[in-house]
Chains A and B, each alone.
Chain A
Amino acid sequence: MMDLVQLKRVRLTIFIAILLLLAVFVISVATGYISLSPAQLGRTMIGKGSSKEYLVLFDFRLPKIMITILAGMGLAVSGAILQSITRNPLADSGILGINAGAGLMVVLYITFFTVESTSFLYILPLFALIGGILTATVIYLMSYKKGEGIDSTRLVLVGVGMAMAISGVILTLTIRLDKNQYTFIAEWIAGKIWGNDWIFVLALLPWILLLVPIAFLKSHVLNTLYLHESVSIGLGVPVERERIKLLFIAVALASASVSVTGGIAFVGLMSPHIARSLVGPRHQLLLPLAAMLGAILLLVADTIGRAILDPSGIPAGVIVTVIGAPYFMYLMAKRNA
């Protein structure tokens, strides 16, 4: 299927992506209130650092970086799936309102429980998932028409409207909260990666570990769905059932990621696009590369945010949007040219 030169290029691309992720990781560790140089990082990693270096690395930096990487992967894979099953290059869990729906549930959770690292936190991704699925169901039903199926333009349009209205509701709920809760939710909406403890990593990890491989195993289905509905039916793919399964995976990935990182849009839009332009539309290659790019993007955004304003940081979601929205506009301008 693929000739040797192409295979070589793909290998090189993935190799470079891994190197890039490592480099960003090292820079991210070095950035912050207490700087850790690469030498110190190496020393601490092999168990020869000072207790202060241990504390900074393992208690502050590493959990947050792990969460950022996992969430970036989750959002990117979710975006790739959404783009393929809707055959709309502008699909993304943020633009479609799924993040907002998940966010609404997170806000409700915050209103009733406290924002502390307790065992309750394992429930947070589940809460977010319920919100995400409800929103996705409404969007799906609203853009489904008998005889026409899902119109991808209508889907995005409905999603944009949903996202706006749900943000309005979230704001309503926040006004009544006390100042601490309010600050938390304002930052959550702006996409500040707030999970900074290993417990958040544990809350997010199962979702990513379970769902990303399932998505990967479904690569061939995604390949056919990406082509055309009639092609998929011709190839014997039960289109509607597979599409709903994949939609569920995408929503679950996005909701779980968003529950610990805050409302981050555009990662799920950009990563699959860049990956597609590098290795082509085959999902066997596209998904892993998109996941890596998502992790890189989000980690870069978080690091920039911390570098600009320390120690609280500009939310990563703000940085990602400032990079991602122009990219979205570029895609729009290019698409109908």
Chain B
Amino acid sequence: MIRTKMEPFNEKKVFSRPAIGTTILMVGILGLVSSIVLATSVGSAHIDFLTVWKSIFQYNPTREADRIIVDIRLPRELGAAVVGAALAVSGAIMQGMTRNPLADSGLLGLNAGASFSLACVYAFYSNADYIIVMMFSFIGAGIGAGMVFGLGSLTRGGLSPVRITLAGAAVSALLSALGEGMAFYFKLSQDLAFWIAGGVSGANWLQLKMVTPVVVIGIIISIIFSKGLTVLSFGEDMAKGLGQRTLLTKTVLMIVVLILAGSAVSLVGPIAFVGLMVPHIVRSLVGTDYRWIIPCSVVFGSLFMVLADTVARKVNAPFETPIGAIVSLMGLPFFLYLARKKGGRL
């Protein structure tokens, strides 16, 4: 389904399945809502669904259950949903734009860049406002991506998927090492550790109020440009031939990717593989039209992260397992499969 450069354009290959897409959207949203409710009710203090419902809609700060749900669990689950959507959409956009089946914000250096700049923020300006943290996260993601794509495009051979993946590995190694160096020098290691491992446990309403609008706007813009993205995914020459303003589309989409990945990292730390897996699964269900892939990725990504976070809380209760580790473990077989299946002709 993923188009390689050499394949000639073939009208029949642009396919979408609107019926399945609609079903997925409907079922996905239902599933998302119910899994958020489910996730909110399970935990070290078990609270039944009715109480969850009451707590949300008739919030009473004097009741303990209400406070657990509204102040601790709900922001956490919503945070997971927002992050999942952001990562999945940024992955989908990158895979479409670079025609690289292995594209993912973790593999392409965006997460490492954002973490590095956050290490800088914590080192020099430890009590920064969350909005500043977020801005730095965007800038860092931009630096990471800039380095990877700059490096990938230094040669005439162009940006082959393998070259970009390798460049991503090198850039990630460099930026993580610099971040680690800062952490050791300023003795921040312990504070950064859990965040680096990836956890949504720290999400609070304040952060959510800032991140959610940004992510929602990013997703809306990417849906607006999704038709252009579909055309771009056939190759740049083809897109130009079809009268597409490729530069505009690419610039806007790249900025959206940076903002989405940066917001996600600023909230939960660098989580890889979500942006890799979700778009592939979605693509295999709804086809190659990004007008369907992006909305479905939003729903699937959110659902995936909420479930992964619930697993992370339950698997070793009462200890928290970092969600990043759970996702990595699930993502590895997927990555290996892709590398094996497509690796030969990347």
Contacts and interface: CB of A to CB of B under 8 A. Distances in A.
B194 A153 contact: no
Q: Which are the 10 A-B pairs with shortest beta-carbon distances?
A: A168-B328, A325-B174, A321-B177, A172-B325, A165-B332, A154-B343, A161-B335, A336-B157, A171-B197, A333-B154
Nearest to A148: B344
A179 B193 CA distance: 11
Interface of B: 102, 106-107, 151, 154-157, 162-163, 165-167, 169-171, 173-174, 176-178, 180-181, 184-185, 189-190, 193-194, 196-197, 272-273, 316, 319-322, 324-329, 331-332, 335-336, 339-340, 343-344, 346
Interface in A170-205: 171-172, 174-176, 179, 182-183, 186-187, 190
A175 to B, nearest CB: 6
A164 B328 contact: yes
Contacts of A315: 180-181, 184
Given A318-B177, A321-B173, A332 B151 contact: yes
27 contacts: A142-B336, A143-B339, A143-B343, A153-B343, A154-B340, A154-B344, A160-B169, A164-B272, A165-B332, A168-B197, A168-B322, A171-B193, A172-B321, A175-B194, A176-B316, A315-B181, A318-B177, A321-B176, A325-B174, A328-B170, A329-B167, A332-B151, A332-B163, A332-B166, A332-B170, A333-B154, A336-B157
A168 B325 contact: yes
Nearest to B154: A333
Nearest to B336: A142
A337 interface: yes
A308 interface: yes
Given A172-B197, A329-B151, A332-B151, A156 B166 contact: yes
A314 interface: yes
Interface string A88-113: 00100001000000000000000000
A252 interface: no
A239 interface: no
Interface in A309-331: 309, 312, 314-315, 317-319, 321-322, 324-326, 328-329
Interface of A: 90, 95, 142-143, 145, 148, 151, 153-154, 156-158, 160-165, 167-169, 171-172, 174-176, 179, 182-183, 186-187, 190, 265-266, 308-309, 312, 314-315, 317-319, 321-322, 324-326, 328-329, 332-333, 335-337
A142 B174 contact: no
A153 B162 contact: yes
A317 B177 contact: yes
Name the residue among A157, A176, A332 with the largest chain B CB count within 10 angstroms.
A157
Given A171-B193, A265-B173, A329-B171, 16 more contacts: A151-B344, A153-B162, A157-B343, A158-B340, A160-B166, A160-B169, A164-B332, A167-B328, A169-B329, A172-B322, A175-B197, A175-B319, A176-B319, A322-B174, A328-B173, A337-B156
A266 B339 CA distance: 23
A222 B287 CA distance: 47
Nearest to B335: A161
